[in-house]
Amino acid sequence: MKIINIKTYILGVAVLFSASSCIGDFEEFNQQKVGGPENFYADFTAITDPMKAIQRGFQADYQLATNLNADMFSGMFSTASQFNGGTNNLTYLMMDGWNNRIIARQQDTFNYSIVIDNAAKSYYNGIDFTATFAMKKVLKVLVAARVSDRHGPVVYSKYDTPNSNGITDFDSQQDAYNNFIHDLTIAIADFQKVQNTSATQNVEDKAVVKKSDLIYGGDIGKWAKLANSLKLRLALRMSYADPAKSKQYAEEALASSAGLISDNADNALISVGQHELSFIIYSWGDCSVGAPIMAYMNGFKDPRLSAYANPATDPATYINGKPQYIGIRQGIDLINGQPTYGGYSQPAARAASGDYFSGVNGKFKLFTAAETWFLKAEAALKGYSGAGDAQADYQAGVGQSFGEWGKSSDVAAYLADGVSTEAPYIDPKNANNNILAGDSQLSTITIAWNNSDSNEKKLERIITQKWLALYPDGPEAWAEQRRTGYPVLFKVRKNDSGGLINTDQMIRRIPFTNDTKNSTFNYAQAVQQLGGPDTGGTKLWWDKK
């Protein structure tokens, strides 16, 4: 495993709450980069550069911050590499030195935010940056929500306002979610306010958004849709923990004039240049496809399969001499690692709009139209006003996903399939890993909508297809699987947690690391808010089903 970090620069922990130090560090870097202070302040570079860095930072340290935790637990990915002798996160021995990157990357984002705030005050005083700050607000919510969905309590609303003793408090996950919704609601209104101004108004603000925006190229209306769609996502995440507020927030999003990301033309994809998975997968061989996603796609005869993965190259996996798509089961004895399992299927992400995992023009997926329709389908099941018809929403979600991956011509036949189910898993290297027909770890859900099914079965169908459509967004997929119990995933065979994580219940969260315990963050408060021991077996606030 290689430790990677592609950020342009790193703000140290010492500048966490020091506005002057943040500005100084940033100014020194940029004046060297762009050729002196006259260029540094021109064209709002002191704001646009850190805004771009926040967006690029979503994939920074990707292997440790995301791929070796949430990605793997989602069922979408696995590995043939025997990290730490084959005893690690994947076998439920939590790796402190890996998992500490989760909060570290959030700190980078929030430090950049402080840089932007102080640059606006110090160098561009009097200019109205309403849309710029709304954009920054949405990005901060995205980052903090990903941290909270892994750890639980998160330092969010009080990040830059420590107590008098220098200790910074956490938000409980419940408070954090309400704060996320509050901030997104403000951002939606701010985007719409600027969007509705004439071409001669908010000129500087619009110019900064355009120059900073690696997602929509400065389209403020699309940013409003993203913020509103995120509001709907978070509202549904709360549905078992706080049904009343879930309904309230979801119905606000469904009724909002901002609209939702309902068509692939509005998908939120960050242009990152070289996607870090391009070398994690194809150069290092450290990331393979997960067994569950291949079992579902093989069983469903899913046309997206060739876009999501490459056929295995190991002849031992061939059937009648023909290469197959086969993933690696998480939490198994990898025997001798890559020499044994390295020839199983590699992940791919060949979308209609280009290769997400490209080493030159990669895209980091934040939110797509398919997710919106699946959220609406679930909201319709729950009777939320404005959600529409569950069947129509479900079918639209599948249709948008097929469109995203260039398979639209195949969607009608796929949606009509009321027979196909998840395929058994056969591991030609170790039969002990097999999951055969009739095993409770195999789902019996089909594809075609059936109005006579129970709401619970309809929910499994919705979330299973949503999970497939979320690929390759492992963190979101893992969060939804924990919240709903769907899709049905394979359990680890090798549990090295020492009893801290129940094999049948699976891992529920990532424990805080020593870096957090020894930081100026109020760790004792976070554990109290967690409501259970700081282990991988403790459920998060929204995990109430």
pLDDT tens digits, the chain, 545 residues: what are they? 433 332 233 333 333 333 334 444 444 444 444 444 444 566 899 999 999 999 999 999 999 999 999 999 999 999 999 999 999 999 999 999 999 999 999 999 999 999 999 999 999 999 999 999 999 999 999 999 999 999 999 999 999 999 999 999 999 999 999 999 999 999 999 999 999 999 999 999 999 999 999 999 999 999 999 999 999 999 999 999 999 999 999 999 999 999 999 999 999 999 999 999 999 999 999 999 999 999 999 999 999 999 999 999 999 999 999 999 999 999 999 999 999 999 999 999 999 999 999 999 999 999 999 999 999 999 999 999 999 999 999 999 999 999 999 999 999 999 999 999 999 999 999 999 999 999 999 999 999 999 999 999 999 999 999 999 999 999 999 999 999 999 999 999 999 999 999 999 999 999 999 999 999 999 999 999 999 999 999 999 999 99
Measure the CA–CA gap between 116 and 94, rounded to whole angstroms: 35
Measure the CA–CA gap between 488 and 459, rounded to whole angstroms: 12
Residues 6 or more apart whose Cβ sits within 8 Å of residue 120: 47, 127, 129, 132, 133
What number of helices (H) and strands (E) belong to the chain? Answer: 23, 6
pTM value is: 0.93
CB atoms within 10 A of CB 207: 15
**Geometric angle at alpha carbon 244, from 240 and 250, rounded to 5°:** 85
Spatial CA neighbour of 422 closest among 465, 369, 466: 465
Which H or E run includes 78? strand 77-78
